[in-house]
Amino acid sequence: MTKQEQKFRERRVADRRSSSHKAIKELVQTRTEMLASYGKLASHQPFAQDGEVGVLLQKFCEALIDYTASAHFQLYRFIELEKERRGSVRKAAEQNYGKIVMTTKSILDFNDRYEDESALEEPDRLKTDLSGLGEIIARRIELEDKLIKELTASR
């Protein structure tokens, strides 16, 4: 391989890494916004059927979906399209992606149930569902962080 070919290859690798780092940054930003929204909603317990809780729930559901979409379209799609060539990253994705998909289903189910304020008629159910969702989100974050660790490792 000539020096010129080597420099070209290094530039392509740097461009791909730059793209993955941008995706990670966007994911972490939407994750942080979602977690802040979760905290605001959870702090309003006991839940009452009032406008404030309804607004917080709607904002949380929007942030939750933004985060979920960001993770899929920014990070996982990047790997799915085989733009990532490092074996350790692909292996981490293979080990964790199926588990992350399962959390996505739970997230979408929660959103479907609570996108309408009429769901506030059962405040105890919201408390239970929000607690369960918190555990699912924590698990998802653990899985994502394994992938992020591999993506940010300098190899």
pLDDT of residue 112: 95
Mean pLDDT, rounded, for 22-28: 87
Average pLDDT over residues 10-32: 76
d(CA 144, CA 106): 16
List the domains of the chain with CATH numbers: 3-152 (1.20.120.1370)
Q: How far is CA 152 from the centre of its chain?
A: 17
- At 39, is the pLDDT very low, low, confident or very high (cuts 50, 70, 90)? very high
Higher pLDDT, 110 or 73: 110
Tell me the pLDDT tens digit for each residue of 2-20.
776 666 555 655 555 677 7
pTM, two decimals, is 0.82
What is the b/e burial string over 23-37, where b = at least 16 CB atoms within 10 angstroms of the residue's CB?
Answer: bbeebeebbebbbeb
Residues 70-106: tens digit of each pLDDT: 887 777 766 665 566 677 877 888 888 889 889 999 9
What tokens does 79 get? 């790997």
Average pLDDT value for the chain: 84
Say which amino acid occupies 110: F
pLDDT over 90 at 120, yes or no? no
Nearest alpha-carbon partner for 93 in 105, 106, 80, 74:
80
